[in-house]
Structure 1
């Protein structure tokens, strides 16, 4: 897919929602009763790129202090949501070794690859940093995972919400009405092409997670070297 075109369209559509107060406020972020859990394969940005993101978040917090901002420990790029979060999912419901084995099988022929993080953008529910893979390795990996899971008798919900094709990282979610909407829009437009640096994906994490990938809720099942 044309990532530039996709991200531009996401920005334009989301900007309309922000301007007309139709953006999605997440009511469950602070809820202690949120028991949605899932299974995700993800990559972590480097310390350097996390540092650049946090500098951006400091600026955003100055404008909108009441929103939900991702700490360093929670920043991630989703490779594939294997089981989308839902109420009632527990690890005891599945055979974790079978999932690890299938993910390992899907890494065949996959080499380490780079992701360039360039620009911030709105989504209907918050703010993302746009990611651009240097080649088609990420897509190759996702296709191999999809093919292998479709042929396996394992619980999965691949692509039921949407077929992930980007390499973005969510860094902020709307958790309350915006206070300085025009200033926030201006800042996102200013950072639309900002260079946050690049990182190499040379390992992946298979995790049992909540909706927000909060470190306090995430259980690392295995770390796989590429």
Structure 2
């Protein structure tokens, strides 16, 4: 498990020392914002996350809410504006997702604590079961068996979170962002039950990131074997 206090401290220092980074508008071939494997929370926790994000002092940046809130378990490819239904990689992702999700129960993720990081603001998640770890591990193996190399290169994630905002340009008042994060450092947003896994693509609509589902698999089984 990643050291969350150290993560928060590094993020604070990056912003306060002028080392914030930001994402340019989505462009073909860019490494960020390509197709990804995600899980999206539903219900009251989404309303709480959205309400919290709306108070973030980050005008001009990509503040997330509603269906754009998500937990990423695998970054798949550079950005493509169009991912057609018959695309070979999309078909491989769909097959790998179905294989990885088979028999897995919904994931439960306790969302508590806000942190800044060089590129934005997030809420930390602590898994209450092994579903996220199993899903990530099995999906990586299923991709590899299909000869697909993803952007995570098989890396096993141990930091889970929901992003509240990504910086879309220079941060005009980083001290205000850090102070806001400090004020919500122990915010308890509750437990998100993540009952489906998706392959999604992202688009920029005005000043908001939109999430579009390409494939979706319900997590409805019991615990699956490793």
- TM-score scaled by length of structure 2: 0.82
The equivalences for 1:3-152 within 5 A come to: 3=2, 5=3, 7-28=4-25, 34-36=27-29, 38-60=34-56, 63-81=57-75, 83-86=76-79, 90-91=83-84, 93-94=87-88, 96-152=90-146
**Aligned residues between the structures:** 213
Partner of 2:160, secondary structure, is: coil
Distance 2:81 2:200 in 1: 16
Q: Please name the residue that 2:224 is paired with.
A: none
Aligned counterpart for 2:215 among listed residues 214, 222, 226: 222
Aligned-pair CA distance for 1:186: 1.9
Q: Classify 1:211/1:169 alpha carbon distance in 2 versus 1 (closer, same or farther; 3 Å).
A: farther
Aligned-pair CA distance for 1:25: 2.5
Q: Classify 1:84/1:162 alpha carbon distance in 2 versus 1 (closer, same or farther; 3 Å).
A: farther
Distance 2:131 2:67 in 1: 25
Aligned-pair CA distance for 1:100: 1.8
Higher helix share: 1
- State the Cα deviation string for residues 82-106 of structure 1 (Å, max 9, x = none): x222458744542534432221111
Deviates more, 1:114-123 or 1:64-73: 64-73
Aligned-pair CA distance for 1:192: 0.9
- In the alignment, structure 1 segments of 5+ residues that lack a partner are none
Distance 1:158 1:137 in 2: 21
